[in-house]
Amino acid sequence: MTRRFLSYAKFNVYLAVLGRRADGYHELDTLLQALSLADTLTFTATEGTRIEVSCDDPRVPADGDNLVGRALALLRERHGVRRGMRVQIAKRIPPQAGLGGGSGNAACALAAANLIWRLDLPEEALERLAAEIGSDAAFFIRGGAQRGRGRGERLAPTEALPDSRWIVVKPPWGLETGLVYRGLRAVLTPPQERIRMVLEQVAKRDPASVARSMFNDLESAARGVKPEVGEVRAWMADQGLDGAVLAGSGSAW
């Protein structure tokens, strides 16, 4: 059996960092919105138990080093599955961009294998597995618009952004998520008022007002890792782009 699935990108309308947790992660409050930009994943059930993952983008690791391979291995381990899968990824979401390409692919693999292997797991079970793969991976099981707390895995549905075109700007270099978070300094501005402003503008259904209220507490840390982040910000201001915000840990906007 061969099936094709779309794995969508996301962006963070706002991303507030509330502090560092005892487990080493950061406590977040973020509004995640799915985008129409998507990878195409082709799944083929195979004889035996081997999991094979390939990608048309050489920057993306293959097989066991890929989050898709890790997700399928985790699913098999937890639910006693003894079946194989071949996955081909046609990549359109750039890696190391903060758009959730890897996490989204992992979540897509869980949902696809649940159907192809006929496991009949509920969405909540897939979300729990996805959260073990990546902090934002559970979001991609649900999609749409979700407010994420904790590491970003505790989700609550929220009002979607008004229909509009959102421009994604991706510089030729990427940013590693771990390096950006390690470079994060204490956030001095309490986020509650900024969060309230974003949510109010989303409720008003005015894309321009939403764009002007968006923020990301990781931007200064990303600039510390890669000073060119500041140059991209300045270039976008020169172009008159309204309310540009870094996507996740970058490097896309």
Enzyme catalytic residues: 10, 136
Residue 97 phi, psi dihedral angles, 5° rounding: -115, -10
| DSSP track, 140-195 | HHH-SEEEEEETTTEEEE-PPPPS--------SS---HHHHHHTPPPP-S-SHHHH
Residue 21 DSSP class: -
User: Residue 103: helix, strand or coil by DSSP?
Assistant: helix
65-75 b/e (C-beta count within 10 Å ≥ 16 → b): ebbbbbbbebb
Would strands 215-216 and 2-20 be described as parallel, antiparallel, or unpaired?
parallel
* Amino acid occupying residue 20: R
Rounded to the nearest 10 degrees, what angle do helices 123-133 and 67-79 cross at?
130
Residue 36 phi, psi dihedral angles, 5° rounding: -80, -20
